Amino acid sequence: MGILLRTRVIVWARADARCSFEGCGRNLVFDATQTDPETLVGELAHIVGQSKEGPRGDDPLPIERRDDPANLILLCSEHHTVVDARTSTYTVDALRAMKAAHEARVSTALEPSERERFHTLETVANYVDHWSQQANLDEWRFWTHRLLEPVPHMKVEVFRTLEELGRWILSRVWPPGFERLRGAFDNFKAVLEDLLYVFARHMAEKNGIYWTERFYRIPEYDPKHYEALSKQFDMHVGLVSDLTLELTRAVNWICAEVRATIDRSYRLKEGMLLVDSGPYRGLNFITHRVEYRPQDFEGRSLPYAGLDDFATTRFRRDLTLDSSQSEEGEEES
């Protein structure tokens, strides 16, 4: 899972965005210019190595606590290299003392307004961490692929977790100054609720999994009725698929807003969230990258405006997986 966003905010704040190495104190934020955003050049160094094989890794500190704020020290790249290369000099005790001394100096000098700003950032970072865990971003391609198969399905526990996530987002108290990030969360919530609503129209539980019922299977011989139901099933599957794509766009928008407002390195290592559709002929799968484009925001504050609007706008997105409809076609009722 890596270092939590909240942890990164805490360590950067307590160090006042300066190198904690004794005698350095270098400012680790390059100010923005007219053409470029501000740039963070600091690095979070592990005091006890993140793994047993890492610098100072042979320590009794449990592995699950090695990404905690107390085990991380903010350094410039030069001094990060130095402390990891000279572990005999920069021992666990030495780095802990260095971190404590630097943070004590910062705490003494920090203005009340800065303390409040850092507290606000920590609150919002907590929101982002909880959301990313409950939405299971690290396994996004795996669990969303179930919804992009010919017969969409989802684990019951995943469905319930996502239901609760929607209610959790609704109950958040947002501090001022994060309007665009809040909007991205509201957009995600709207898509999520509609996806679950549409999927639940034709779902049945079996062995802990919600499966889409193949309601076109009828006992009597009635070709016209069978054809009509088959078309309705294809429309339903197409809408579930396109809402899954839309939810992925909504997630990628949130990640972009987090990078713009809190941490420019947020999920850069992992990159954009992708989705897999299929299987197609030959049991092939296709991986897709989807995201909102500037035209998706034209004339609206949020790109997703509900199911009725999505009935047409989904065919103007960067990708649709619904081959049963055209923009002029009749939607599932």
Both tokens of 48, joined, read: 């006890």
Sign of CA dihedral 137, 140, 143, 147: positive
Answer whether residue 1 shows pLDDT above 80. no
State the greatest distance between any 2 C-alpha atoms of the chain, in Å, as a whole number. Answer: 85
Averaged pLDDT, 37-47: 79
Residues 103 and 145 in one domain: no
pLDDT of residue 30: 66
Residue 277's DSSP bridge partners are 286
Q: How far is C-alpha 221 from the geometric centre of its chain's CA atoms? A: 48
Residues 191 and 92 in one domain: no
In a domain, residue 331? The reply is no
Residues 87 and 129 in one domain: no
Residues 175 and 309 in one domain: yes
Residues 212 and 257 in one domain: yes
Residues 165 and 235 in one domain: yes
Averaged pLDDT, 83-104: 96
Count of structural domains, the chain:
2
pLDDT confidence band for 283 (50 / 70 / 90)? confident
Percent of the chain with pLDDT strictly greater than 90: 77
In a domain, residue 189? The reply is yes
CA 217 – CA 94 distance, rounded (Å): 71
- Digit-coded pLDDT (tens) for 189-215: 999 999 999 999 999 999 999 999 999
Residues 13 and 46 in one domain: yes
Residues 47 and 145 in one domain: no
* 264 touches 37 (CB < 8 A): yes
Q: CA nearest 147: which of 252, 73, 247, 221?
A: 247
pLDDT of residue 78: 94
The residue from 75, 92, 110 where one domain ends is: 110
Q: CA nearest 94: which of 105, 106, 82?
A: 82
Residues 48 and 142 in one domain: no
In a domain, residue 155? The reply is yes
pLDDT confidence band for 72 (50 / 70 / 90)? very high
Answer whether residue 68 shows pLDDT above 80. yes
pLDDT confidence band for 109 (50 / 70 / 90)? confident
The two beta strands, 42-46 and 153-155, are unpaired
Both tokens of 230, joined, read: 């088959």
pLDDT confidence band for 329 (50 / 70 / 90)? very low
Sign of CA dihedral 294, 302, 314, 254: positive
Q: Show the domain range for 125.
A: 120-316
In a domain, residue 332? The reply is no
Residue 43's DSSP bridge partners are 75
Averaged pLDDT, 53-79: 94
In a domain, residue 327? The reply is no
pLDDT of residue 36: 52
Q: Calculate the average pLDDT of the chain.
A: 91
Answer whether residue 148 shows pLDDT above 70. yes
pLDDT of residue 31: 58
In a domain, residue 115? The reply is no
- Digit-coded pLDDT (tens) for 151-185: 999 999 999 999 999 999 999 999 999 999 999 99
Residues 91 and 230 in one domain: no
Averaged pLDDT, 212-239: 92
In a domain, residue 323? The reply is no
pLDDT of residue 34: 52
CA 230 – CA 70 distance, rounded (Å): 58
Residues 154 and 280 in one domain: yes
Residues 144 and 292 in one domain: yes
In a domain, residue 171? The reply is yes
pLDDT confidence band for 110 (50 / 70 / 90)? confident
Question: Cα separations (Å) of 2 from 6, 15, 100?
Answer: 12, 20, 23
Averaged pLDDT, 264-270: 90
pLDDT confidence band for 134 (50 / 70 / 90)? very high
CA 49 – CA 292 distance, rounded (Å): 39
